[in-house]
Amino acid sequence: MDSVKSESVEAMAIAGLVITVLALVLSLNTIWLVHQILSTTKKTRHVKVSAEKIKMDKIPINFTFQLPTTSAEQDVRFIVSSRENCRLMAFWGVPIGKFICYLRSQWPLNVKSRELFEPFRENLALDEILEDHQEKEIILRRSDRFEQLNTKDFPRTWYPLVVVQARTGTIPDSCDILAMVTIAHIRDTSCPLQTSIIAQYLKQVNGNLLCLKQLFVASDATANSLCVVCQANPLTRAILPCRHTCTCDSCFEKLENCPLCRGKIESYFLI
Share of the chain above pLDDT 90, in %: 21
Look at residue 144 in the predicted model and tell me its pLDDT.
66
Does a structural domain hold residue 79? yes
Residue range 158-176: mean pLDDT, rounded: 80
CB 93 within 8 A of CB 150: no
CB proximity list for 145: less than 8 A, separation 6 or greater: 92, 93, 122, 123, 125
Do 254 and 268 reside in the same domain of the chain? Answer: yes
Domain of 77: which CATH number? Answer: 2.60.40
Does a structural domain hold residue 27? no
Do 201 and 249 reside in the same domain of the chain? Answer: no
Does a structural domain hold residue 160? yes
Q: What is the pTM of this model?
A: 0.69
Domain of 246: which CATH number? Answer: 3.30.40.10
Residue range 147-157: mean pLDDT, rounded: 74
Does a structural domain hold residue 122? yes
Do 72 and 190 reside in the same domain of the chain? Answer: yes
Helix (H, G, I), strand (E, B) or coil at 89: strand
Residue range 159-181: mean pLDDT, rounded: 82
Rounded Cα distance between 132 and 136, Å, is: 11
Checking if the pLDDT of 43 tops 50, the result is: no
Q: Which of the pair, 8 or 102, is modelled with greater confidence?
A: 102
pLDDT band at 140 (very low <50, low <70, confident <90, very high): confident
